[in-house]
Amino acid sequence: MELYTIYAEDFKLDGGACFGVVPKSIWEKYAPADKNNMVNVSLRSLLIKDGDRLLLIDTGIGNKQNEKFLSHYYLFGDNSLEKSFKTTPYNFDDVTDVILTHLHFDHCGGAVWLNRETNTYEPQFKNAVYWCSQSQWELAYKPNLREKASFLNENTDLLSEKGLLRFISQEQFLTPNIFLKIVNGHTIGMIIPMIKYNRKAIVYGADFIPSIANISVPYIASFDTQPLVAMIEKEPFLNDAVNENYVLFFEHDFYNECCTIKKDERGRFKEKEVFKLKDLH
C-alpha cells in the first residue's frame, strides 16, 4: 500500500464557528486568529494505492464557483489537486475510486470540474467511480434549512447522470484494507474511512475530528447539525483511538497533518505524537 497527502486548497473560516462554545482563549493556541477572527483551514485529501486500485478521499472545493461565492471563504496560497498530484507517481486518470466523505461543497466540489473552453461540466476523475452514503445523498437533495447552502447540485448532478455514483447503506469494507465507518453528528451519513497500513489504523477525520483543536469531546464545531450526537459518537471512538493507537489524519488542520491520541491525568483526550504522514513507519 502507498499513501500520499494531497492538498486541494487552503481557505479561512470564522474561528468561533470552528469551535462552537469553546472560548477563543482556549482554542486560539491551536488555531491563531487574524483581526477578523478568521483561522486558516486546509482541504487535505488522501490518495491510497491499494493493490490494483487508486483511491482518493475527498476533492476540495474545485473550480466551478464564482468569485462572489469564493470571496466568503478567503482562499489563499497556491495549493491545488493538480499541483499536488504531480508530487506522486499518478495522475487523475489513474484514480479508480473517489470516496466522498459527505457532500458539503468543500469536500466534493473537485469531483466535477468546469471546462472553461467549452463551458461544460466534466468528471474530474473520468475513470473513477464515486462513493457516497445513501443517507447523505438523500439529504443533499432534500436538505434541511441548516445545510441547504452547503449542498450544490453542480457538484453531484453530473456524477449521477453519468452513472458514476455508488452508494453505501451501512458500514462496510471497500477493500480488505479500507473500512468505511458512518457517523451522523456533523451531517447525516458522513463516511469516515479507516485504513489498515503497516499494522496501524489511519483514520481520515473529515469533519468528525477536523483538527487537533477538535479532539476533546466538547470541542464541537458550530457547523455540526447534531452536536450532542457528535459528542456521543466521539467519546467511544477516542477511547478506541487511545487503546488501539489510531493515527488521525486531519483534513482541515492547517498546521498539523497527523497525530496519535492519549488521555491525560484528568481523563481528557489530547494529541500524543504529532507528525506528517510521510514520516509514519
Per the DSSP assignment, residues forming a β-bridge with 203 are 194, 248
What pLDDT does 98 receive?
A: 98
- The pTM score is 0.96
Q: How far is Cα 191 from Cα 101, in angstroms, rounded to an integer?
A: 4
What pLDDT does 72 receive?
A: 82
Spell out, as residue ranges, where the chain has pLDDT lower than 50: none
Q: What would the grid cell of residue 180 be?
A: 468505511
Which one, of 89, 18, 90, 103, lies nearest residue 59 by Cα? Answer: 103
What pLDDT does 268 receive?
A: 93
Asked if 96 contacts 178 with a C-beta cutoff of 8 angstroms, the reply is no
The mean pLDDT of the chain is 95
What pLDDT does 66 receive?
A: 85
What pLDDT does 67 receive?
A: 84
- Please name each of the domains of the chain with its CATH number: 2-279 (3.60.15.10)
Which one, of 172, 186, 268, lies nearest residue 220 by Cα? Answer: 186
What pLDDT does 29 receive?
A: 87
What pLDDT does 238 receive?
A: 98
What pLDDT does 259 receive?
A: 98
